[in-house]
Homo-oligomer: A and B are copies of this chain.
Amino acid sequence: MIIKKVIAQQAKLAKVAARKLAGLSTEQKNSALLEMADALEKNQSEIISANSEDVAAAKKKGTRANMIDRLTLTPERISAMAEGLRQTAELKDPIGEEDFHTERPNGLKIRRVRVPFGVVGIIYEARPNVTVDAAALCLKSGNACVLRGGSEAIRTNQKLVEILNAAATSVGIPEHAIEFVAITDRDAVLSMCRLRKLIDVIIPRGGAGLITRVVEHATVPVIETGTGVCHIYVDKAANFEIALPVVLTAKISRPSVCNAMETLLVHKDIAEDFLPKISKLMIENKVELRGDEVSRKICPEMKAATEEDWSTEYNDLILSVKVVENLDAAIDHINKYNTEHSEAIITDDKVAAKKFQTLVDAAAVYVNTSTRFTDGFEFGFGAEIGISTQKLHARGPMGLEALTTMKYLIDGNGQTR
């Protein structure tokens, strides 16, 4: 109960700040972002000192080397954060945009304009740069934020927020625009998710476990992000010169990310030709292959896939492989096991491509290219607060616009009803 009270108090302060943020001009917000960028660079040594405590604690706990690497800040990484702030200042401010207006027969003038949510809650596990990115995108979109980062980066995150807030308030941003929840207890997440009327939307960024926990307990509206069981289907009309490099890189270029391929589906008519080729490439690149029965008849070097494999996000150099009867079977498999993130077909058959794009249920559906392109920068949005895997409000890479809502403004002259 104490945890809930503490976080509720932070959210209340953020709500007060949010009312003021909603009225700030683009110039005010941009000058704060630039000030924040400078402050990060000016206070580099303080940040690195806080960070080294986090790193030391993580090493003591026996944290894996790749996690230590993610956690560790260097002058270059701090400059990259500052650069991110400066780039956010360059982005178009969505607030105040009018996307609809009408005048009704009774004379009412109705406009619909874009406004901030108010208070955005972000729960994340990842690297400390998320703290800076999230604060920047929320500020630019006129929102206050309540941030809850992973416990392993707590000292770094606290220091970052302290510096960002000091810089922001020095140029007129209201206090408490960026609130950081310093409670590492897991209950903090659950408490945050239930602060209706204080937090307007919750965005969890992290693994499936975190996201499920948030969705299960939240009463505040949630935008789900991130988990990706992505498929590439190699159709019978596929051009292998496209299929082989696309499939290979979609697995190996960065296996830990949500838009990496987890399952390869291959049309039965080309399986005997295609599978040995891709299997060889994958094995050369240290990918473990888990095939269904038909795949393993063609490529006995594959391990046997179990039912669980079809719905697993490996985030690793592992690939499940299945031979399908036809396009419909591929679509059915995807719609049964996917997380509605990103899916691709490799084919020269335009009818098949169109059917695939129409019937596959996912945020992004690709033809003759890789699922790895689902990303705010790749889509040209300039920044990204996460990739929505739900259908409500935002789908796919979320830029600034996803952090806003609409409001109807109606002007009359005494109309009654």
Q: Which residues of A contact B (CB under 8 A)?
A: 19, 22-23, 102, 104, 108, 110, 117-118, 196, 200-201, 215-216, 219, 221-223, 239, 241-242, 245-246, 248-250, 253, 335, 353, 357-359, 361-370, 372-374, 378-380, 390-393, 395-396, 405-417
When A23-B359, A390-B221 are in contact, do A405 and B395 touch as well, CB less than 8 Å?
Answer: yes
When A395-B405, A408-B363 are in contact, do A415 and B370 touch as well, CB less than 8 Å?
Answer: yes
Looking at the complex, which one of B23, B200, B410, B414 makes contact with A391 (CB distance below 8 Å)? B200
For this complex, 19 residue pairs linking A to B, each with C-beta atoms less than 8 Å apart, are A23-B359, A102-B379, A102-B380, A104-B380, A108-B373, A108-B378, A216-B219, A223-B392, A242-B414, A250-B416, A357-B409, A364-B408, A366-B410, A366-B411, A368-B411, A369-B410, A374-B408, A392-B393, A395-B406
Instruction: Flag if A19 contacts B359 (CB, 8 Å).
Output: yes
Task: Output the residue of A223, A242, A362, A391 with the most chain B CB within 10 A.
Answer: A391
CA distance A126 to B241 in the complex (A): 59
Looking at the complex, which one of B201, B248, B417 makes contact with A373 (CB distance below 8 Å)? B417
A390: min CB distance to chain B, Å: 6
CA distance A158 to B140 in the complex (A): 50
Instruction: Flag if B222 contacts A366 (CB, 8 Å).
Output: no
Instruction: Flag if A408 contacts B392 (CB, 8 Å).
Output: no
A417: min CB distance to chain B, Å: 4
Instruction: Flag if A395 contacts B407 (CB, 8 Å).
Output: yes
14 extra interface residue pairs, beta carbon distance < 8 Å, beyond A108-B369, A110-B379: A19-B335, A102-B379, A104-B378, A104-B380, A365-B407, A365-B409, A366-B410, A369-B411, A369-B412, A369-B415, A373-B412, A373-B417, A374-B408, A393-B393
Complex contacts, A411 vs chain B, CB 8 Å:
353, 366-369
CA distance A392 to B379 in the complex (A): 23
Instruction: Flag if A373 contacts B409 (CB, 8 Å).
Output: no
Q: For residue A221, which residue of chain B has the nearest CB? A: B392
Q: For residue A354, which residue of chain B has the nearest CB? A: B409
Q: For residue A241, which residue of chain B has the nearest CB? A: B414
